[in-house]
Amino acid sequence: MILLVPEPPLQKPSDKTTSATLVYQKLRRDILNGTMKPGQKLQIDQVAQRYDAGINPVREALNRLSAERLVDRRDQRGFFVPPLTLKAFRELVRSRCWIEALALEQSILNRTQAWEDELITTHYRLDREPVRLAGEEGGDNSAWEERHRAFHNALIGNSGSAWVTGFCHDMMDHAERYRFASMSGTYPRRDSREEHRAIMEATIDGDIARATERLTSHYRLTLQRLEEQTTAPMPDEPDTPATIAD
């Protein structure tokens, strides 16, 4: 199971960190945050040039990401960044609601003082961090991204099932792509701070029904916002794939 934040610190090369691992980390990050666009073709030689790596490490990294479904491998056509579609996002949100509700329920049933302390701490750190950076052109705050992920990981991290926790982490990664993609749209601000506080309070109270309802509503609202801002259907596959050339 791999636990990653949206922009993980990249390791320096060492005997234990192969070139393929570094390419994997960089390309994974760029796919999650939207630097690599949905539907974009990943030409092996161009990926190698972009990340200053050899052909073999790039192939290894692409195959690894393909196994995580963060890269599409198409017969006779090569590697592509997976497209983003509303149909796929609806399925993803539905699956997150099913599995994370179960994970949260089990976390509450297995509650310990240490877990409650971790949950309160991660929520406190998230609550104090602004979503956007200050300034006229304030962009995404990577510190908020990390704390947001830490809070959601804490919610389901006491489930007692490494399999379930791993599935939750994988779905969180895929959901992150849609969240970044939605930032180009404009719609009324949501009070995510209050949403997170409501989830945390219900969880600490041990109210399983209320906690799981607030968590799943939190995810469904994200889907609703994306549906509202999408005026044209997203294609399943681009007609003319772009490449990563700058």
pLDDT, tens digit, for every residue of 173-192?
999 888 877 765 555 567 88
If asked whether residues 68 and 165 sit together in one domain, one would say: no
Q: Tell which of 80, 99, 115 closes a domain.
A: 80
If asked whether residues 51 and 138 sit together in one domain, one would say: no
Q: Rounded to an integer, what distance in angstroms lies between the CA atom of residue 61 and that of residue 59?
A: 5
If asked whether residues 67 and 90 sit together in one domain, one would say: no
b or e along 100-125 (b: 16 or more beta carbons within 10 Å of the residue's beta carbon)? bbbbbbbbbeeeeeebbebbeebbeb
Residue 6 counted as domain residue: no
Task: Show the domain range for 53.
Answer: 19-80
If asked whether residues 31 and 150 sit together in one domain, one would say: no
If asked whether residues 94 and 135 sit together in one domain, one would say: yes
If asked whether residues 93 and 131 sit together in one domain, one would say: yes
Q: What are the tens digits of pLDDT across the range 127-165?
A: 998 877 665 455 667 888 899 999 999 999 999 999 999
pTM for this predicted structure: 0.78
Q: Tell which of 80, 98, 126 closes a domain.
A: 80
Q: Residue 182: which CATH number?
A: 1.20.120.530
Residue 135 counted as domain residue: yes
| pLDDT, the chain, mean | 84
Of 102, 244, 233, the C-alpha closest to 163 is 102
Residue 101 counted as domain residue: yes
> How many domains does the structure of the chain reveal?
2
If asked whether residues 51 and 76 sit together in one domain, one would say: yes
Q: What's the pLDDT score for residue 185?
A: 57
If asked whether residues 23 and 103 sit together in one domain, one would say: no
If asked whether residues 66 and 43 sit together in one domain, one would say: yes
Q: Residue 47: which CATH number?
A: 1.10.10.10
